[in-house]
Amino acid sequence: MDKIDYENYQGFLAADADESVLRDSVGRMRTRSLFHETFDYRTKASGMTPLYTLAEDTKHGLPSFWRIYMTCLTEYDAARKLVGGIRHWDALLATRWFHTPTLRDSNGHYILGLDKWREYKEQQDQSYVRELLLSMAKGGNVAAAKALLTEKAPIPKTAEKKKKEADEVSAQMDSEDQAVQKDAQLLKLVP
């Protein structure tokens, strides 16, 4: 089995890429049929085969859509490499299953959707930036050191804020309980 070089993956940016495999027999942009996990094998008779896996690594000899996405600089770059352009990417975005983890792999585990991928990509990008800033700061770059010092850290909630939020929730629940009690009395469910 060939090892896929995800760092240098060109996909549909390559000059010899055959973009005709991105459309079905009537010319529609492929969405579910692009992936091993969502491929409708009834369409196999038309000669189509899945192009990617949604798994985190190469599976069934197919490149990982997720891994390619994670190595791209931007989502636009990912769209061009993976499906030839932003219009086809938009067709994928229009499908609900592509965003949320509604699919399961053969082991019964949920396959992460694009919403989660975006979170991971943001975390990855922040990690790279932090790593670069640390390296620059260690090299004596004062601006990098200042940037590290001024990073926004989550502000911990004070005990007072937590109590206030709890009191607000409690008051709302009491109000709802009173409304239910009144309704129950009107319906003569309780004395």
Domain assignment of residue 190, yes or no: no
Alpha-carbon distance 63 to 59, whole Å? Answer: 7
Q: Are 8 and 67 in contact (CB under 8 A)?
A: no
Instruction: Tell me the DSSP string of 127-145.
Output: HHHHHHHHHHHHTT-HHHH
Q: How far is CA 54 from CA 8, 61, 62, 66, 139, in A?
A: 19, 12, 9, 6, 40
The answer to the question of residue 140 being in a domain is no
pLDDT score, position 1: 46
Domain membership of residue 81 (yes or no) is yes
DSSP 39-91: --GGGGGGT----BB-SSS-BTTBPBHHHHHHHSSSHHHHHHHHHSSHHHHHH
Number of domains in the chain: 1
Those residues with Cβ within 8 angstroms of residue 78's Cβ, 6 or more apart along the chain or in another chain? 68, 69, 72, 89
Distance in angstroms (rounded) separating the CA atoms of residues 59 and 52: 8
Residue 22 belongs to some domain of the structure: yes
Global pTM value: 0.71
Confidence at residue 112, expressed as pLDDT on a 0 to 100 scale: 84
Residue 47 domain-assigned?
yes
- Count other C-beta atoms under 10 Å from residue 68's C-beta: 19
What residues pair up with 64 in beta bridges, in sequence order?
Answer: 53
Q: What is the pLDDT tens value at each position of the chain, 191 positions in all?
A: 458 999 999 999 999 999 999 999 889 999 999 999 888 877 777 889 999 999 889 999 999 999 999 999 999 999 999 999 999 999 999 998 898 776 776 677 778 889 999 999 999 999 999 999 999 989 998 888 888 888 765 556 677 777 777 677 666 666 666 665 665 566 666 56
In a domain, 173, yes or no: no
What residue numbers bound the domain in which 74 lies? 6-111
Residue 129 located in a structural domain = no
HSE-up of residue 29 (Cα within 13 Å, Cβ side): 15
Give the C-alpha separation, 58 to 54, whole Å: 9
Q: What's the pLDDT score for residue 124? A: 94
CA distance 75 to 67: 13
Backbone angle region of 157, left / alpha / beta, with phi > 0 → left and psi within -120 to 50 → alpha: beta
Do the beta carbons of residue 68 and residue 85 sit within 8 Å? Answer: no
